[in-house]
Structure 1
């Protein structure tokens, strides 16, 4: 099966994740979310579907975002974003803070053959408090922010303990000599395996840890009927590794930091 650009763009646009402890505000043409304090990203645009002139629609989002009292708004310009959105954000002082590669791979013919890691890597599902805390700590190292409260970790571990055997996915954590060194998430929606949060601590990079976590996520996805794997990878880090694993880049989605003050 050959993946089409339109199908990948649609799957990318449909991929919206919001933790249940986030604040969500919906307008007629937009959705904004404020994440909990332990995230490094405070305020983001989840959806933007203007029906009229683009400039006033952008201004309406920014006006609502200013009521949160935060210094900036993160706005991802997706593959299906309205033409001219990036220019409108730039005019309002927006600067690209991160660029994501949208990559996908056909899984209908089975798994890619990935090289074995140089290190002796053990992979565990984060279905208990300790493992999920380890994975969250690895994520903080790679993405910033802080560890969630213990009660949040306990609740997420309980959800994962039900979700993983049911085919819904969860977080995998990689260990080398008993030390957590990598993590990555996978969720399955309508035959698409969404791979998220892949990260390796700096001291363990270059040993194939990311590939080991990727292989485990893809194996799980195929086992549970996924026919496509989708990733939004950092162009400077995970993107090159994913292309070597047979993923194709279908475009880029820059994330703009737009000043609110």
Structure 2
């Protein structure tokens, strides 16, 4: 069944991840989030305004500099609902293009698509060792990962993840080939939407169906817990083509820019 593009776009714009320990600089018109383990910790995650985009952006950057004088750069996301002209305003202030993701949706009301997953076994993250393995996979796949806070913190994260998955809220999953953890990804249940996030596979395990296995298990989890729509944001040169072949429909694109704060005016 075809997805409703407007519904997918609205769900995509509502999707803003604010993990425990994140810092916020926000107003009614924009939101900056600080993710401690990203190469550019501060990200512009929302802008909604009827005022001139340049004015709102400059005011927001000034507020960010005041809140964090040591900040050196911002990753700015231009989402589907962003005001017209935000790309141009960022480039005019010295930003450099970073990446593009497709916003994709899949109707789950007719059940799980035939994904032909590989032999990987996929289970929720349930131990401190699992948390460490997922962190290593994130680092290899994306170049960034949550900070290693120690065995006690990893054990606590694992317990919380297992409880969240059991309660139907979602969480992180790990894929194994034999005894080796080779892939990781997550799903969050938001009402009737299953948000898929962070799927990555170790380079040496790619081409063996691990990504499809992760996708199939997370979609099945969403269906079991009442999701009618699966939502994912996939990089156009990596996961997005696989997701399209799996039956997802792209409804638009989001772009990110890296903006050095000493260049912005």
Structure-1 separation of matches of 2:188 and 2:156: 17
Give the equivalent residue in structure 1 for 2:17: 17
- Aligned counterparts of 1:162 and 1:116: Cα–Cα separation in 2: 26
Q: Which residue does 1:48 correspond to in 2?
A: 47
What number of residue pairs does the alignment pair up? Answer: 258
Matched, 1:182 2:199: no
Look up the match of 2:140.
Answer: 141
Residue by residue over 1:17-48, the C-alpha shift from the partner in whole angstroms, topping out at 9 and shown as x without a partner, is: 11111111222422211122x33341111222
Deviant stretches of 4+, over 4 Å? none
Indicate the larger mover: 64-73 or 201-210: 64-73
Distance in structure 1 (CA, Å) of the matches to 2:28 and 2:111: 42
Cα distance, 1:112 vs structure 2: 0.2
Paired with 2:48 and 2:117, the residues of 1 have a C-alpha distance of 44
Partner of 1:159: 160
SS at match of 2:116: coil
Output the aligned Cα RMSD.
Answer: 1.4
| 8 Å contact kept, 1:31–1:46 | yes
Q: Alpha-carbon deviations, 1:148-172, whole Å to 9, x = none?
A: 3124423322221211111101111
Partner residue in 2 for 1:91 = 92
Contact map agreement 1:124 1:131 (CA 8 A) in 2: no
Q: Residues 65 and 260 of structure 1 are in contact (CA less than 8 Å); yes or no, is this contact kept in structure 2?
A: no
Unaligned runs of 5+ in 2: none
Q: Which runs of 5+ in 1 are unaligned?
A: none
1:41 and 1:164 map into 2 onto residues whose CA distance is 30
Residue 257 of structure 2 corresponds to: 256
Matches within 5 A, 1:118-137: 120-137=119-136
Aligned counterparts of 2:121 and 2:2: Cα–Cα separation in 1: 33
SS of alignment partner, residue 133 of structure 2: helix
Measured against aligned partners, the alpha-carbon deviations of 1:51-90 in whole angstroms (never above 9, x if no partner) come to: 3221111111221233322221111100111111111111
Secondary structure of 2:109's counterpart equals coil
How many angstroms apart in 1 are the aligned matches of 2:136 and 2:211?
A: 16
Moved more, 104-113 or 172-181: 172-181
Alpha-carbon distance in 2 for matches of 1:219, 1:148: 30
- How far is 1:127 from its partner? 2.3
**2:7 aligned partner:** 7
Report what 1:230 is aligned to.
Answer: 231
- Contact preservation (8 Å) 2:102, 2:251: yes
Matches of 1:153 and 1:210, distance apart in 2: 24
- 1:157 aligns to what SS in structure 2? helix
